Amino acid sequence: MPVLIGVGLSCAPADPGRSTGGTKGSGGSDATGSGGSGGSSTGTGGATTGTGGATTGTGGATTGTGGATTGTGGATTGTGGATTGTGGATTGTGGATTGTGGATTGTGGATTGTGGAAGTTTGTGGAAGATTGTGGAAGATTGTGGTAGTGAAGKGGAAGSGGSAGGTSVDAGGPIIDVAKGLNGLMLLGPCLQDTEASVCATAKGACPPANTADRALSGGITSDKMVTIGGTMGTPYTVTLHIQGEVESKQYGGMDQNQTAQSPKADGFCVGGTPTTADAYNVYMIRVTNPGAAKTDYFLNSLQPPGTPNHTTYGIDYTAKIPVQGGAQIRLVAADSNCSMIKNCGPQVSGTTCLAPITMTGIEPEAISLNPTFNFTTPYNGQWVVMTVKDVTSP
């Protein structure tokens, strides 16, 4: 950058105490000081005290206020660090073309000048020229009296931090299996409220709710109805592996059965899709998955025809099944009895006038037991039940 030599113009005779831009830089050392010589040894408008170079920094006292009436140290014509040079501003020239330490327009204590005020750390650009004559206070560390006002170039703002990865976290941290922790140990119960026959009981008190023709899986009495939200990252696909155990009656759904040969108490009732048949009124056990922005998919847990039959029998079920879900999916788990009349836990043989062979399941998952402390897995339950344990969760 070229160095501009400040020349102070004055009609008064030379006076050792009023050198205007000279080498002594007394810059206002007496009552008539000219507000700092703008770049002199001791009053370099940006010296240590930045007071226009004078001992008291009056910047030109009575007659030379470092940009008095016509030059208020940072006024319109010589802000030396205003818009063009705020001590590290965009151009960082602190005393640029219009404020070069006592130039014709007077920076650094000249008649109209601001003593090259800017370039300061604070970039006040000639705020000095005031009563205390701080015109030239700028120039600070690197700008001397506005000679060039070369304040260090301002640094740009720190770079903005990058945005977080796409997707919304539904469940922060933890192992991936935790995205389905709401399903772990979950139970669907169909308790007998009143025996109506040796092998049949009522599941509702009073009148049974009417059939739901719009959604047959929800017809009649709802004995269990639970909602779980899958964790993980919204919309991310996961595959949840469940261990399903319990004691239920059989039902037909017309979907895709996983296994039609396994026998009680290891029967496999998992069925993908379909709709509960209206040919009988046996109970429905269902997992309904609704992924974000998608239609529902139903999975049934007691599709046992075959090997079961639509009669007054119950079966032990024990199998694993995989259910695809997405992060944020809503999982509804339902046990429903369309006619509010349920087969009691009497086993896979028709009992007639007695409850012949109640089922007590063995090999129940320890987690299922610990997560359901009020349910007695060691004795036959008076009704029907399903419990699930999350065994694994994977994601492509």
**What pLDDT, in 10s, does the model give residues 241-261?**
999 999 999 999 999 999 999
Q: How many CB atoms lie within 10 A of CB 121?
A: 15
Task: Give the contacts of 118 (CB within 8 A, at least 6 positions apart).
Answer: 74, 79, 80, 81, 82, 84, 85, 86, 87, 94, 95, 99, 124, 125, 126, 138, 139, 143, 149, 151
Question: Cα separation of 188 and 315, whole Å?
Answer: 15
- What is the average pLDDT value for the chain, to the nearest integer? 70
pLDDT over 50 at 210, yes or no = yes
pLDDT over 70 at 208, yes or no = yes
% of the chain surpassing 90 pLDDT: 51
pTM over cut 0.95: no
CB 284 within 8 A of CB 338: yes
Q: What pLDDT does residue 348 have?
A: 84
Q: What pLDDT does residue 393 have?
A: 98
Q: What pLDDT does residue 173 have?
A: 62
Instruction: State the pLDDT confidence band at 265, using cuts at 50, 70 and 90.
Output: very high
CB 129 within 8 A of CB 114: yes
Domain assignments of the chain as residue spans, ordered by start: 1-155, 176-394
pLDDT over 70 at 199, yes or no = yes
* Paired residues of 336 in beta bridges: 222, 284
Instruction: State the pLDDT confidence band at 25, using cuts at 50, 70 and 90.
Output: very low
Q: What pLDDT does residue 72 have?
A: 37
Q: What pLDDT does residue 239 have?
A: 98
pLDDT over 80 at 352, yes or no = no
